[in-house]
Amino acid sequence: MDKAALAPLLKRIPQVQEVLKCECISSLEESLPHSLLSDCVRSEITALRTSILAGENPEFNIESVAQGARSRTLAFMAPSLRRIINATGVVIHTNMGRSVMCPQAIEAVEDVIKGYSTCEYDTNKMQRGSRHNHYERLICAITGAEAAIAVNNNAAAVVLVLSEFAAGHEAIVSRGELIELGGSFRIPDIMDQSGATMVEVGTTNKTHPHDYERAITENTSMMLKIHKSNYQVIGFTKNVSLTELRDISNAHEKETGHKVLVFEDQGSGSFVDLERYGARKEPTVAQSLAEGADLVSFSGDKMLGGPQCGIVVGRKELIDRLKKNPLARVVRLDKMTLAALEGTLRCYLQGEEAINSIPTVRMLSEDAGTVRVRADKLKAMIEERIEPGKADIEVIPEISRAGGGSLPMYDIDTFAVAIKPVAGSTQECDKFLVQQCPVPIVARIAHDAVIVDPRTLLDEEEMEAVAEGLKNYFATV
Ligand SMILES: *Cc1c(COP(=O)(O)O)cnc(C)c1O
């Protein structure tokens, strides 16, 4: 269509001022700023003009434009960060906020955000207190560490440690551990940023104790070990253990009087031996300390199941230096995180039942048989709600994963419900669950079916919501 033919249509586009007078927009004036309403009206008009110019010949009148602008306004004001239902079976899902808080953490957060708090106030001394007091005693009691500091996340913890101890010095790291953790967090770049000189030793698959021994100079401040939480090197491999690094450091100190720190970035960071609960073996923080690490850093929201934070534990004189580093102020925790962290940590000292009330811990350690009982139940709930013949529904053996970006190599046997649409389509059903349900439900697609893994459904209510979502989808096809 040529431009001239479009002119009558373009001429019919209403003015911003006119649209603002329509009842469906003007009724919003009371509760929302005028500038937001005009912006939304303008965007709607721009979209309409673009559509006309593209020759799409849209049907419109002033009322439809106003309704469009109203939808834009309501969408703008709708909460963006909100709850969703994770039916993927990926327990520590970085895109979905990683760990779900346990009841004690939720209670603690509620308590401190409703009023003023002891964030930095000491009621015994009736004067300024320290943020570190809320968590440090608990972390030390759980891990046996002398001291601890918690910051924004583990990436910040690693940067803090390197900045304090390795800036202007050399830090030795194995070529097998020079990793990228996603979100452009690469060990070589972080070293650079922290002002440390990275000294690479060994090869991608093999690093030996003598590689470290030979690389130590009088300017070496630390040997950095990075736990392989998000990748594996398999086959012909050799790693140097923490115990071996400790021995190398001790021997060097005995010979020269010069201390070389052993620092482990443990990444996933686990407090209890989850193997006892049925999960795969991962080193605990206490084990790394016992094996001779001077400092260990780890995330609060991975296997620990707490809020987003990064924790460094180790000898008191070293942690004291970290607390005094100006960067510690830059990456300090806010009161909500402190409360959630303290609440989660308390569970670890209160025995099995409390530990199992931490959703991440429970989900990582639940055996496949237990998940199967819930899968069977969910299958029955779905079948009750869908007309027979519209979908094939089966309980199938599947694999859950500990984490998306954080622990992708960690598979867990599970049983999932597979919904294979006979009417409608797998893709549309999957999309409907995310976009048309009151609480979005994220499942995944495999074997041409929508797969719902009950391992990551939190309770009966979430199972109910999944069944209702599927009912509503199959009612449309
Ligand atoms: C996840 C991870 C990090 C980053 O931790 P965040 O808490 O996400 O900042 C650092 N190192 C390792 C080994 C990790 O697995």
**pLDDT one-digit tens code per residue, 275-312:** 776 667 788 999 999 999 999 999 999 999 999 999 99
Phi, psi (rounded to 5 degrees) for 317? -65, -30
Give the model's pLDDT for residue 235.
Answer: 80
CA of residue 264 to ligand 1 center, whole Å:
12
In short, whether 230's Cβ falls inside 6 Å of ligand 1 is yes
Cα 286 from Cα 296, distance rounded (Å): 9
> What is the chain's pLDDT, residue by residue, as a tens digit (477 residues)?
577 889 999 999 999 999 999 999 999 999 999 999 999 999 999 999 999 999 999 999 999 999 999 999 999 999 999 999 999 999 999 999 999 999 999 999 999 999 999 999 999 999 999 999 999 999 999 999 999 999 999 999 999 999 999 999 999 999 998 877 766 788 888 899 899 999 999 988 899 999 999 999 999 999 999 987 666 777 888 889 999 999 999 999 999 999 999 999 999 889 988 777 666 778 899 999 999 999 999 999 999 999 999 999 999 999 999 999 999 999 999 999 999 999 999 999 999 999 999 999 999 999 999 999 999 999 999 999 999 999 999 999 999 998 865 565 678 999 999 999 999 999 999 999 999 999 999 999 999 999 999 999 999 999 999 999 999 999 999
- Residue 229 near ligand 1, beta carbon < 6 Å: yes
Q: Ligand 1: distance of its center to the CA of 190 in Å? A: 12
Counting DSSP H helices and E strands in the chain, the numbers are 20, 16
Ligand 1 pocket, residue 154 CB under 6 Å = yes
Token digits of residue 100: 């779900």
Retrieve residue 181's tokens. Answer: 């953790």
Q: Where are the alpha helices (DSSP H) in 297-386?
A: 316-324, 326-330, 335-348, 352-356, 359-365, 368-385
Protein residue whose Cα sits closest to atom 13 of ligand 1: 267
Q: Which of 94, 154, 360 to mutate to test the pocket of ligand 1 (most atoms within 8 A of CB)?
A: 154
Q: Which H or E run includes 386? A: none
- Measure 155 CA to ligand 1 centroid, in angstroms: 6
- Model pLDDT, residue 205: 87
Query: Under DSSP, is residue 281 helix (H, G, I), strand (E, B) or coil?
Result: coil
The residue contributing the CA closest to ligand 1 atom 6 is: 154
pLDDT at 370: 96
472 class by beta-carbon count within 10 Å (0-12 exposed, 13-18 middle, 19+ buried): middle
Look at residue 334 in the predicted model and tell me its pLDDT: 98
Whole-structure pTM over 0.85, yes or no? Answer: yes
**How many angstroms separate the CA atoms of 225 and 174, rounded?**
8
* Contact indicator for 319, 313 with CB cutoff of 8 Å: yes
364-388: b (≥16 Cβ within 10 Å) or e? bbbebebbbebbebbbebbeebbee
Confirm if 289 and 313 have CB atoms less than 8 A apart: yes
User: What does the pLDDT read at residue 3?
Assistant: 74
| Alpha-carbon span 446 to 221, nearest angstrom | 49
Beta carbon of 207 within 6 Å of any ligand 1 atom: no
Question: Which pLDDT tens digit goes with each residue over 113-128?
Answer: 999 999 999 999 999 9
- Of ligand 1's atoms, which has the minimum distance to the CA of residue 299? 7
Give every CB contact of residue 248 below 8 A, 6+ residues apart in sequence. Answer: 209, 212, 213, 216, 223, 260
Ligand 1 pocket, 365 CB below 6 A?
A: no
